[in-house]
Amino acid sequence: MAGTPGTGTTLITGGTVVSPTGQTLTEVLIDGETIVALLAPGTELALAAERGAGAVIDATGKLVVPGGIDAHTHMEVPFGVTTASDTFETGTRAAAWGGTTTIIDFATQMKGQEIRPCLETWLAKADGQCAIDYAFHMIVGDVTEGSLKTMDALVDEGITSFKLFMAYPGVYYADDGQLLRAMQTAAGNGAMIMMHAENGIAIDVLAEQAAARGDTAPINHGYVRRAELEAEATFRAIQLAKVAGAPLYIVHLSAAEALEAVAAARHHGRNVFAETCPQYLYLNLEDHLGAPGFEGAKYVCSTPLRSKHGPHQRDLWQGLRTNNLAVVATDHCPFCFKDQKDLGLQDFRDIPNGIGGVEHRMDLIWQGVVAGELTVERWVEVCSTTPARMFGLYGRKGVIAPGADADIVLYDPNGTTTIGVATHHMNMDYSAYEGTVVQGRVDTVISRGRTIIAGGAYHGRAGHGRYLTRGLSQYLT
């Protein structure tokens, strides 16, 4: 087993190292926290290490991939009267179990708050708690003169991406003028603008009308958050970003029509990027959000799950192949069914929005490889390498190469994983994928040279994870 960070060498032998550009039988030599060499199997250096210079991990039959980077999580985030159920400690431990070695969470400013104390709060929540490395985007929930100035300062401090909301009036919502001003600021300081693209004003009208009719079941969450309102907001955000000259990254894209808007912008050479999440690739409005009784509450998230009768899932997989969707993140925002989701028993508008999934992203997207939707290389790209490049971590993260942090996953393509509340490590009393058995299994997880998952056990510790400051996105031209 690899040792403590900073001490000794570890050699990973016999495995197939995967990058976005190919697969090779290569040995990986780690010294302390860092990858120091990639070696042809059986080289002198490798043999020397094997003879006793350090630890050896036999990866025969395994894929050796850069640790996953989940660029969209919400540990401990308040939502209405409740708070996401994973702490930084439980959530990052669960992430580790699933082969994710870095999260980028969201420090969150709400309407009426100042950014700086909000950021301090989130840094304090995470400090000393994380099993894996972590960074923050900043949610700008109140675009004021002060917020714009702070955005400039944060870029210098290594927080180089800002999420804005076209939804949630009164909480996070920014009007078009505010969006434009924030985008102009990003155009000036090089930051990435991340957008929650749904027309929240129109959604709230439809939601109020549904409730007034007595349509209060969870499925109405999906009915009122119509695909047209995601597409309209996506298109509007793209146009505003063009006017401002800012790059744009659409988060949690679920509707085929929104993807069309992204594809058109990219076709015209625009710096527009998009992310989707496993829930949109596998779950749907009718079977999940529309499950009998109140079960659908388990699947309330925004953007919502889309109809199985539409082209959404087919188009999302295609978007992942063509790079119109560049990243798969989880939007991990877990709430328990009891005492959290059930706040909305009488009215779907009171169900906290979010699904927990930080533990299962690598396995679930691997199913795209199993089904022939993605190549092995593309799996690595959308789960690790592109998030690193997109958010200014590449070089340290997202790659197996000399000089990079030794964040490495040994993935067993012949193993299986059973997903469910009895086996998962997230602090949730249900699983959105309960009982699903998937092909593939995370075998070993190394975080900065330390083996934190091996032999079906957790060997990490809270506080091993280090806060990462980030550079600018590599996708800016």
Q: Residue 356 burial by CB count (10 A; 0-12/13-18/19+): exposed, middle or buried?
A: buried
Exposure b/e, 18-30, CB count within 10 A at least 16 = b: bbbeebeebbbbb
Q: What are phi and psi of 179, to 5 degrees?
A: -60, -45
Mark the segment that binds Zn ion (CB under 5 A) among 154-162, 198-206, 330-338, 387-395.
Answer: 330-338
Of 77 and 419, the one with the shorter C-beta distance to Zn ion is 77
Given candidates 142, 257, 275, 331, which one binds Zn ion under the rule CB under 5 A? 331
- Region of 180-188, 193-201, 418-426, 465-473 interacting with Zn ion (CB under 5 A): 193-201
Query: Smallest gap, in angstroms, from Cβ of residue 126 to Zn ion?
Result: 16
CB of 193 to Zn ion, least distance (A): 13
When the beta carbons of 246 and 351 are compared against ligand URP, the nearer one is 351
Kindly compute the dihedral angle of the four CA atoms of residues 87, 273, 264, 164, in this order, to the nearest 10 degrees.
60
Cβ nearer to ligand URP, comparing 46 with 300 = 300
Q: Cα–Cα distance between 358 and 311 in angstroms, integer?
A: 26
CA distance 57 to 88: 29
CA distance 66 to 399: 5
Rounded distance between C-alpha atoms, residue 431 and residue 438, angstroms = 14
Question: Does 196 participate in binding Zn ion (rule CB under 5 A)?
Answer: yes
Whole-number minimum distance, CB 150 to ligand URP, in Å?
Answer: 21
Amino acid at the residue 332: H
Q: Which of 10, 92, 161, 302 binds ligand URP (CB under 6 A)?
A: 302
For the chain, what's the residue count?
477
Stretch 125-164 residues interacting with ligand URP (CB under 6 A) = none
Q: Which of 137, 196, 360, 470 binds ligand URP (CB under 6 A)?
A: 196
CA-based angle 345:302:340, to the nearest 5? Answer: 35
Per-residue string for binding with ligand URP, 63-92, x by CB under 6 A? -----------x------------------
Backbone φ, ψ for residue 118 (5° rounding): -65, -45
Among 174, 231, 301, 426, interactor with ligand URP by CB under 6 A = 301
* Segment (H or E) for 439: strand 436-447
**Which among Zn ion, ligand URP, none contacts residue 327 (Cβ within 5 to 8 A by kind)?**
none
Q: Give CA–CA dist 267/258, Å, rounded.
A: 14
Using CB atoms within 10 Å of the CB of residue 83, give its burial: 0 to 12 exposed, 13 to 18 middle, 19+ buried: middle
Q: By C-beta, is 327 or 369 nearer to Zn ion?
A: 327
Residue 301 partner contact from ligand URP, Zn ion, none using kind-dependent CB cut-offs of 5 to 8 Å: ligand URP
Among 230, 331, 359, 405, binds ligand URP (CB under 6 A): 331
In the list Zn ion, ligand URP, none, the entry touching 353 (Cβ below 5 to 8 angstroms by class) is ligand URP
Which residues make up the interface to ligand URP (CB under 6 A)?
74, 196, 252, 301-302, 331, 333, 353-354
Which residues make up the interface to Zn ion (CB under 5 A)?
196, 331
